[in-house]
């Protein structure tokens, strides 16, 4: 399994790249073969990646709402909270 990236600007990452790295971190931590200090370091990065993914999802949700509802109200498609 590839090592999670130790550096990199999370804010510049796409949702897909951040999610992929977060999944790698989860697998590495679940395996339990990481030293304590390394576990803490990659856990912190994982928390930052999670926050970044949540932000990207919220931004996408707001864009969909603008498309669906538009300036003149609903365009015939209902918004769902499943996004």
The candidate with the shortest Cα–Cα distance to 74, out of 64, 82, 83, is: 64
pLDDT at 47 exceeding the cut of 50? yes
At 28, which helix (H) or strand (E)?
Answer: helix 15-31
pLDDT of residue 66: 81
pLDDT at 3 exceeding the cut of 50? no
Residues 40-54 have a mean pLDDT of 97
Can you give the residue ranges of every domain in the chain? 10-68
pLDDT of residue 68: 80
């Amino acid at each position: 399994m590839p090592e999670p990236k130790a550096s990199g600007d999370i804010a510049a990452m796409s949702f897909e790249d951040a999610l992929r790295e977060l999944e790698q971190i989860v697998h590495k931590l679940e395996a339990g073969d990481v030293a304590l200090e390394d576990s803490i370091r990659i856990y912190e990065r994982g928390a930052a990646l999670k926050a970044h993914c949540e932000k990207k999802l919220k931004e996408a949700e707001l864009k969909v709402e603008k498309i669906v509802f538009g300036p003149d109200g609903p365009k015939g498609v209902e918004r769902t909270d499943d996004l």
